[in-house]
Chain A
Amino acid sequence: MNNKDGNVLSVREISKYFGGVCAVDNVSFDVREGEILGLIGPNGSGKSTLFDCVLGQLSPDSGEVRIGNTNVAGKRPCELNKLGIARTFQTLQVFSQMTVLENIILAGQEHHGSMFSRLFGKRDAGLTEAADEMIAFFRLTHVRDEMAGSLSYGQQKLVDAAMAFVAGPKLVMLDEPAGGVNLTMLVDLKERLKTFNKEHGATFVIIEHNMEFVMSLCTRILVLANGKIIAEGDPDKIRNDPVVIESYLGE
């Protein structure tokens, strides 16, 4: 799915306005295969809006988004998901009245078989085994058959992340995966994302405010402020960039 430059995702001159407010202002960037790209910036800098524009949740007012060689203009989120992009949302989005297992199977079932086979085929779409592996990987086996809504916040966060991975996506876009997760689980989560990156070749774009998490995980970082990219580079460069320090990181 990569284009000729080896980019999984190319964003060109995207802008998005809400009324008179310019949430994303003429932003361009590429995501290279296999990298873990961090997207940071102060609240209201346009990070989540940028995600929504890339993933078909919002349509940008101008500019172009390409997944590999496919222009995604007019494509719906479900179609983009089938192209191999998975995401999580900033707020917790699990299906609280389904069990953990059902949540994970749901996240994979639309990638297996046809509309027809999903009606007449197996109840679990043949996914129980793969789902159980994913559940074990995120250490959720002991709550496999509990309603997702009855789990703790941190556990639900893991279910949310596990849902993004079960279909074996090429590109995973995570919106604040570390928010509200305790320290030990955070270390765990980081290791898991690294494993997916190394062993399964998944490419990541991660929005996060936890700087330690971002700096130790990401291979490259984009800094957004007022809808514009103000800096780009590896974690060391970003940490020492005077513009970034002034507008976001602080001394």
Chain B
Amino acid sequence: MRPVVIAGLIALGLLVILPFGLKSYGIYVLTLWMVYSIAAMGLNLTLGYAGQVSLAQAAFLGIGAYTTAIMLKAGYPFFAAFGVSAGLAFCIGLVLGYPALRVQHHFLAFVTLGFNALVWLVFRNEEWLTGGTYGLMGFSRPTILGVDTSNQVVFYFFSLGIFLLLAFVLWWIVRSPWGRAFQALRENPIRANSLGVDVRRMTLLAFAIGSAYGGMAGSLFAPLVEFIDPHSFTLDTSLMLLLMVIIGGSGKFFGPILGALLVVLLPEGLRFTEGLYLIIYAGLVIVLMVFCPSGLLGVYDRLSAAVRIRLAGRQEPSGGDVP
């Protein structure tokens, strides 16, 4: 078996066992990690695979969370709210993709940053819909197939199921010819265009699918925290999601999942240092980015490449240029 499969199975085993050894708060943090992972996976498709910088992922997290909260309060079943959240985020993401057809890189970052601010203003000011700064509460966790998920452990496994399903779908997308086209878009859109890749369509799809993942993460976020207000969906959150993608390994499938684990758990783990934890946390991020800009999985790639070179060195040197 390949090491990645073994690591995956061990991780899955841990995810099943862990909640039984943890207190309620620990389970809550793990669930939060999965929710942020879903949003970061989406951003990884947009940014890591397709190369479209977005600082608006928190806006889609918010769109999903508010849509779900409003629909749950109105008495709709959870999966209806989940579907509408995904669909709405997909459509708005598609529209946000249009500027990306004209502007790229840091210009695109500013366009999406502006969009995040705009959505945040809607959350804060449209009190009739969103409750303004007071936020929304009074919706409960859903009952799925007769199982009440208000128990922390039950909701954890419910989230785990959705997380695994969405991870599989994304894995399928990036492994398909679509994934190759997305990567071509990131590396060289002009050449991709000349080879028949419909760059316009793929750019819009990269935004739409990535945003839909943000919306679906938001749809889980609302019943997880059971109270939402605009503060959760500011630019800070977009930057945090971006950090998860970059720190884990942008453009690598497990990158954002690992990155989210670090970003969510490290502050918890550093709690004993009290006032120092933010300083240590920031310091670690700086060190990692300086020494391995390709993220944690980049560290793994480098090590395994070094091992392969050493192994190859024992045998005959291979390759070489052909005249």
Q: Please report A residues at the B interface, Cβ cutoff 8 Å.
A: 55, 57, 76-78, 81-82, 86-87, 89, 93-98, 102, 105-107, 109-111, 115, 118-121, 123-125, 139, 142-143, 146, 152, 154-155, 163, 167, 182, 184-185
User: What are the residues of chain A within 8 A of B173 when measuring CB–CB?
Assistant: 119
Q: How many residues of B contact A (CB 8 A)?
A: 27
Instruction: Tell whether, in the assembled complex, residue A123 and residue B198 are in contact, meaning their CB atoms are under 8 Å apart.
Output: no
Instruction: Tell whether, in the assembled complex, residue B177 and residue A118 are in contact, meaning their CB atoms are under 8 Å apart.
Output: yes
Any A CB within 8 A of the CB of B40: no
A173–B211 CA distance with the chains assembled, in angstroms: 39
Interface string of B189-204 (1 = CB under 8 A from A): 0111111111111000
User: What are the residues of chain A within 8 A of B177 when measuring CB–CB?
Assistant: 105, 109, 118-119, 121, 123-125
Query: Which among A95, A98, A120 has the highest number of chain B CB atoms within 10 Å?
Result: A95
Instruction: Tell whether, in the assembled complex, residue B193 and residue A76 are in contact, meaning their CB atoms are under 8 Å apart.
Output: yes
Any A CB within 8 A of the CB of B188: yes
Cross-chain pairs A/B with CB under 8 angstroms, 10 sampled: A76-B193, A78-B195, A93-B188, A95-B184, A97-B183, A106-B197, A109-B180, A118-B176, A123-B175, A152-B321
Complex partner residue of A78 from B176, B193, B322, CB under 8 angstroms: B193
A163–B192 CA distance with the chains assembled, in angstroms: 11
A139–B196 CA distance with the chains assembled, in angstroms: 25
B175 to chain A, nearest CB (A): 6
Any A CB within 8 A of the CB of B317: no
Determine the residue in chain A with the shortest Cβ distance to B180.
Answer: A106
Instruction: Tell whether, in the assembled complex, residue B198 and residue A110 are in contact, meaning their CB atoms are under 8 Å apart.
Output: yes
Segment 281-323 of B: residues with Cβ below 8 Å from A: 319, 321-323
| Top-8 shortest CB links A-B | A110-B196, A81-B196, A93-B191, A118-B177, A77-B193, A109-B177, A95-B187, A107-B195
Determine the residue in chain B with the shortest Cβ distance to A93.
Answer: B191
**With A102-B180, A109-B180, A119-B178 given, is the CB distance from A143 to B191 under 8 Å?**
no
Query: Which among B180, B184, B188, B199 has the highest number of chain A CB atoms within 10 Å?
Result: B180
Any A CB within 8 A of the CB of B263: no
Determine the residue in chain B with the shortest Cβ distance to A166.
Answer: B195
A107–B193 CA distance with the chains assembled, in angstroms: 10
User: What are the residues of chain A within 8 A of B181 when measuring CB–CB?
Assistant: 106, 109-110, 118
Instruction: Tell whether, in the assembled complex, residue A89 and residue B191 are in contact, meaning their CB atoms are under 8 Å apart.
Output: yes
Segment 47-90 of B: residues with Cβ below 8 Å from A: none
Instruction: Tell whether, in the assembled complex, residue A97 and residue B187 are in contact, meaning their CB atoms are under 8 Å apart.
Output: yes
A221 to chain B, nearest CB (A): 24
A111–B197 CA distance with the chains assembled, in angstroms: 9
Instruction: Tell whether, in the assembled complex, residue B176 and residue A87 are in contact, meaning their CB atoms are under 8 Å apart.
Output: no
Determine the residue in chain B with the shortest Cβ distance to A113.
Answer: B177
User: What are the residues of chain B within 8 A of A89 when measuring CB–CB?
Assistant: 190-191, 194
User: What are the residues of chain B within 8 A of A121 when measuring CB–CB?
Assistant: 176-177
Complex partner residue of B195 from A110, A115, A155, CB under 8 angstroms: A110
B179 to chain A, nearest CB (A): 9
**With A95-B187, A106-B181, A110-B181 given, is the CB distance from A87 to B322 under 8 Å?**
no
Query: Which among B175, B187, B188, B191 has the highest number of chain A CB atoms within 10 Å?
Result: B191
Segment 199-244 of B: residues with Cβ below 8 Å from A: 199-201
User: What are the residues of chain A within 8 A of B180 when measuring CB–CB?
Assistant: 98, 102, 105-106, 109
Having A163-B195, A167-B195, one finds 15 other A-B pairs with CB under 8 Å, namely A55-B194, A57-B194, A76-B200, A78-B197, A81-B195, A89-B190, A106-B192, A106-B195, A107-B195, A107-B196, A110-B195, A123-B175, A123-B176, A139-B322, A146-B319
